[in-house]
Structures are given as C-alpha cells and as structure tokens.
Structure 1
Amino acid sequence: MRPNSVLISLMLVLLATWLGLDAVSVAANRIVPGEGVGVGGIAGWPGVLTSLMPMLAVLLLAWRPTGRHLRLALMLVILMLTALPLWLVVAAAATVDPSLPQARMAIGPAVWIAIFVLLLALIELRGRVPLPSWQNGLLYLLPLLSLALSLMLDLEPLALRQEYQVRKSAFLTAIGEHLLLVSAAVGISLSLGVGLAMAMRHWPRAQRFGFTLLNFLQTIPSLALFGLLLAPLAWLSDRYDWLAALGISGIGWAPALLALIAYSLLPMVRNTYVALEEVDPGVIDAARGMGMSRAQIFRQVRLPLGLPVILEGIRITTVQGIGLTAVAALIGAGGLGRFIFQGLGQAAMDLVLLGALPILIMALLADALLAALTEKIRPGGTH
C-alpha cells in the first residue's frame, strides 16, 4: 500500500516543532516577559525520548497504512492529545518556583502547534477508520477528561488559568452574552430565510434582486456595517422612547444583532431555496398523484427531503455568527470579544486566548454537532 503522505508530513512537522521550539514560557509575574523553556529543559532527555515514541510509531504506521495500522495510529493520536494536559502539569511543577506566588507559565508554540497538528491528524484518520458512534464519543471524551483532571491536580501557575480566575464572573457572563446573541441571530435569520426563500420561489423576479442584495450585504466589512447602523439606531432611540426602553441604541446589542442577521441571511436563504427547489420532480409528481395538496407536498415531501440542506445553512450561519460576534464587542455588545480586545490593548496574550479559545471551541462543537445531525437525517446517512 502507498504510504499516507498527509499523516507522514504531519508527524514530521510535529517532531520538528516539538524538538525545536519552546514548550512553555515562564515569567516571575504578569508584567515581565517570559523565558522560553524547551521540552528537554522540562523533562530531560528521558522525558524527551518517551514523548517521541508515539510520534515515531505513528510515522512508521503511516508508511504501511493498513486498516489495522491506521486504527492503531488513531489510538496513538488520541493518546498524545490526552497526554498533553497532564504534560503541562509536569511542566508547571518543573519550571515554576513555588516560592514566587505571582509566577506564571504560559503555553509555548511547541504545544500549540502539537495540538493543531494532532487535530489535523485526527481528522485525517477519522475519514479512513470507520468506528461505531459510541467508540467515537469515548475517544473524543478522553482528552476532555484529561484536561479536567489536570485542572484539578495542579495547574494553578498556568497563565491562562490565572486570567480566568481573576475574571471568572465576567467570563461566564460573556459566554452567556455570546451564546444569546448568536442564538437570536440564527433563529431570526432562519425565520426570515425560510420566508424569503419561499417568496423567491413564488415570485421568480424577486430572486435576482434578493440574491443581489444579500450578496452586497456580505461584501460590507463587519466594522463598516456596525458603523453604518450607529447613526440611524441612535436617532430612532432618541425619537421613540419605547425603543430606548427596550435597550435599542446606537451601540450595544441592537446594531450587533442587526449586523449578524444581515450576514446570516445569504447562506440561510440560499440553502433553503436550493433545498426546496432541487427536490426530484418525480417525487413531487408522485405526491400529486396520491392526491396531496400543495401545502401537504411542502410539509411532507419538500421540507423533509430538503432538511439536510437547510441544516447545512444553519451550520454555516452558526459558525459564522460565533466568530463575528467577537467583533461586536467593539460596539459594546458584550461577549467573549471583550477579552480579545482588552488583551490586545494590554499586550497580554493569555487574556486574548481567554476570549479566543472558547470561541474556537464553540465553533468546532457547533460545526461537529450540526454536521453529525445533517448526516444522520440525510437519506442513506448513518442511523
């Protein structure tokens, strides 16, 4: 069999970065710059050799990628992802002086690149190793359990954890604001998208104008769109007291929600239109032959058959909205973006990560869950 060039390349990158870049950065406090420490400076050469063994094993297995070898490589990749949080506990104990209460350890480029490369390897292997759903869930649960165990053991010196502890209440509030804004935008855009798609089907002349307008909205940069909404919303809230009582103003959640809806409409309308329009005409003729009305055909034929495509639009809209909501923090809409911009202003990268990592995790979870649901309900999908 031909070697798996993707897996081999990923493992070579992982080996080079693991040995050549700093694994962690240690600083006496939040103000002073950290000093990089490599893997050898943390665990010594015995620890380095031990950490290299699974990487080399996956590299060798990729040269002859039989089904059994790829399954074993998948287990090793999961093992390495599971070991990384526990390895950070070892690094904290080896590098941070316990007599310095303000000392902190930041995650270095070697670890970040290792996580990224291992996730790419996981994606590559999952497409080639079919596993039952319960085994998939168990495998993906192991790294999360390892992370939870590491946090309970001794990761107090981790800079990211320290930033979280200082802002715990604000962080939880920001997550709620972020999810609420995204949920509202997706829900409203779904309702509007279905209505617009159905209108375009009934009035074909509206199709070209509608898609032209929605494409134009997509070309406007997010900050520019926020700026365009400030003046009219401020004027409306000043003129109508009941709008001001609802919290609508030139800044805050109102312009952010309107902008998110504007960006969400194109994928929602396009996918809904395609889902309803591309149903096999033979199926529609069979439904008419059975005496179904137009409303029954829509509810019982078009909508169920087009639901996977509509869910795909919801997936795109949700992932896009999770990312765009971070920018909305610039106009006072709240959410996790406030930590990103505060960290950039203070040159505190761990504060930036405190806002960016949950956004990344939410986007990945939303993408995976909605993609799995789409695949499950798709005709011929896994059940």
Structure 2
Amino acid sequence: MTLIAMLGLPWALAGFCHVFIDPDAPYARAGLAAGFWVVLFVFMLALIELKGRLRLPRGSWWGVGAMMLGSWALALASGVLDKLSLMQEYLGRSDKFIDALAYHSLLVASAVGVSLVWGFCLALAMRRWSRLERGINGVLSLIQTIPSLALFGLLLAPLAWLADRFDWLAAIGVQGIGAAPALIALVGYSLLPMTRNTFVALADVDPGVIESARGMGMSPRQVFLQVRLPLALPVLIEGVRITSVQAIGLAAVAALIGAGGLGTFVFQGLGQAAMDLVLLGALPIIVMAVVVDGLLTALAGALRQGARDD
C-alpha cells in the first residue's frame, strides 16, 4: 500500500493541478505546502520500516527506488506537473539549472578525487612512520573544527595575493573567490574521514592472511596490492561514501564565495524569500546525496560479500 501511494503521489499532484487550476489563467500555479512534505516524510518512514521488517534481497529495494524515480520522471517529462510553482521556477531557469548541476557534480568529484589521493598517501605515510599519526590527525581534526564559511573567508586573501603575484596561477583560474578556495576547502574537510578510514582499513586486515601470503612467497609489494588492499577496500569505500556525502552538502555553501553550483539557487531564494527557488537548489542536493550514499553503501556491501565468498 505504501509503495502504491509513493508511485501515485506525482499523479495525485497532477490531478490536483488539473482540477483546481483554471486553464484560462496562464500565470496560475500551485505551491507545495507543508502537508505535502509531511505526507512524503511519513511515506518515506514507512518504507524504511518495511525495509527493516521484510528483509527482502538488496536488489528488490533498488527496484523499488527505480520505480519511484521512474514514476516521478514520467510525470515530469509528460508536463502534467508544469503548473507547480517549483516546476515554473525550473522552466524559467532550466539552462542555468543544468549548468549548476554539472558544476556542482564536477566540484564534488574533484574534491573527492583529490582527497582520495592525498588521504591514501597520508595513510601510507602514517603506516610507514608511526610518529606522524598524531600530528597528521591533529592537523586534519583542526581543519574540521573550522566553520565552513570561516574557512572560505580565510582562503580569500592568500589566494588573491598569490594570483596577483604569480600570473600563471591567475591564468589557470586561481583567485580569491570562485572554484579555487571552494576546492581547497572541500579537500581540507574531506581529508580527515578519507585518511582515517584508509588507515584503519589497511591496519585491520587479518594478520593471519598477511602471514599466509608471505608464506606463499609473495613480495611486500604483492602482499599489499593483491591481499591487503583488496581486503581493505570495503572500509576504504566507506570513507569515500562519508566524504562524498559531506562534500555534496558543503559545496552548496561555496556558492557564497562565487563558486557557483546548486547553492546559488538556495541563497538566491533565501534572499528573495522565494521558497520554491530554495527547493530548486536544495532538492537535487538531497537526491544526489541519497543516491551517492546508496550506491557506495551497496558497493561496500558487495565487496564485503565477495571477500566472504573468497
């Protein structure tokens, strides 16, 4: 019953718009009031409860999610929801929205990719020289305590000075505002979970397995690449998941320093007291975070299951 209600929700909205909005009033629109969000929240809680009780195979719930997204996508593509004020905001800014979504995704992917490389290198350094562990964790933890807006602000002056002093930095886009401070701040916030999870993942591999690999004549390089790293991947993926979800949210705040992305719509809407414009930026961020979280959780689970089977 809950699944049917979730599948029918966009079509119920379409029916409401058809019945209550005068087709002869071209500027009339329907807003999503608090009741809609309460109903959606209750249905989502019901689905979560059902997932915990029914214990269906993992693939079944991916199918349920695909059906719900497909129902919404079909309703949106058919135009039956065009009278919603949220859709009117999108239709008036569709080109900017697509550019913002692509830019937001690129900024997050760049931050996660850079932090993955640096976090892996720092974790290896901590394993090689144990005295570095306390210092590295201390510095990365300190960065985490700085509020995001404060960190963005702290980066403005030094980056502007560097761009003014070195022409090649300005030529590649480094300046006091924009993508450069946003990327640096996102990488800084991402390094702690990435480094810590990588370090724990590599350290928690069963010593007996490592000894068995050495007993088979494997070199240290082979032990690391063929035994330790594959067994550590599930926990390492958890670090990527935490980092990615965190970066998706923080990238919205970066719009305040001219970095662009979906946060632009959020802050424009707040400035104009236009909640539909706020939702135009906030809802894709939420969906993106949920999808990335689900995909990486499923990947980590599959890797764990594969390790057990082996």
Shorter-chain TM range is: over 0.9
Cα gap change, 1:107 to 1:382, in 2 (>3 Å):
farther
The answer for the alignment partner of 1:202 in structure 2 is 128
Corresponding residue SS for 2:110: helix
Greater relative contact order (Cα < 8 A, sep 6+): 2
CA-CA distance at 1:155 after TM superposition: 1.6
* Structure 1 portions without partners, runs of 5+: 1-75
Q: Compute the TM-score of the two structures, normalised by the length of structure 1.
A: 0.78
Q: TM-score, normalised by structure 2?
A: 0.96
Equivalent residues, number: 308
Instruction: Say yes or no: does 1:106 pair with 2:31.
Output: yes
Q: Which moved more, 1:102-111 or 1:170-179?
A: 102-111
Are 2:68 and 1:156 aligned? Answer: no
The structure number with the bigger radius of gyration is 1
Residues 107-148 of structure 1 deviation map (CA, whole Å, 9 limit, x = unaligned): 111111111221122122112223345533332222222212
Distance in 2 (CA, whole Å) between partners of 1:168 and 1:343 is 16
Stretches of structure 2 lacking an aligned partner (at least 5 in a row): none
Distance 1:212 1:139 in 2: 43
d(CA) in 2 for partners of 1:133, 1:367: 15
The residue aligned with 2:143 is 217
User: Could you say which residue in structure 2 is the equivalent of 1:243?
Assistant: 169
Mapped to 2, the partners of 1:153 and 1:173 lie a distance apart of: 22
Alignment of 1:281-300 (within 5 A): 281-300=207-226
1:236-280 per-residue CA deviation (whole Å, 9 max, x = no partner) reads 000000100001000000000000000000000000000001111
Find the aligned partners of 1:215 and 1:116 in 2 and give their Cα distance.
34
Cα displacement string for residues 52-108 of structure 1 (whole angstroms, at most 9, x for unaligned residues): xxxxxxxxxxxxxxxxxxxxxxxx211111111011011112222222211111111
What pairs with 1:264-283 in structure 2 (closer than 5 Å)?
264-283=190-209
Aligned position for 2:103: 177
Query: Any idea what the Cα deviations from partners look like across 1:168-226, whole Å, max 9, x if unmatched?
Result: 00000000100000000000000000000000011111000000111000000000000
Asked if the contact 2:179/2:259 (under 8 Å) is kept, the reply is: yes
User: What secondary structure sits across from 2:249 in the alignment?
Assistant: helix
**Quick one: structure 1 residues 155 and 124, their matched pair in 2 at CA, closer, same or farther if it must change by over 3 Å?**
same
Would the aligned equivalents of 2:231 and 2:307 in 1 still touch at CA under 8 Å? Answer: no
Return the alpha-carbon distance in structure 2 between the equivalents of residues 382 and 142 of structure 1.
31
Whichever structure has more helix as a proportion of its residues is 2
In structure 2, the partner of 1:28 is none
- 2:238 maps to 312
Q: Distance in 2 between matches of 1:243 and 1:366?
A: 33
| 1-structure distance, mates of 2:215, 2:14 | 68
Percent of paired sites with the same residue:
57
| Aligned equivalent of 1:11 | none
- The alignment status of 1:115 with 2:47, answered yes or no, reads no
Between the aligned partners of 1:334 and 1:297, the Cα distance in structure 2 is 44
Any idea what SS the aligned residue of 1:104 has? Answer: coil
SS at match of 2:30: strand
- Which aligned runs of 4 or more in structure 1 are off by greater than 3 angstroms? 132-135, 379-383
Distance 2:84 2:307 in 1: 43
Measure how far apart 1:308 and its partner are: 0.2
How far does the alpha carbon of each residue in 1:316-364 deviate from its partner, in whole angstroms, 9 at most, with x for none? 0000000000000000111000000000000000000000000000000
Counterpart among 4, 8, 21 of residue 96 in structure 1: 21
Q: Is 1:332 the counterpart of 2:258 in the alignment?
A: yes
Among 33, 42, 49, the alignment partner of 1:124 is 49
Aligned partners of 2:59 and 2:207: how far apart in 1?
Answer: 38
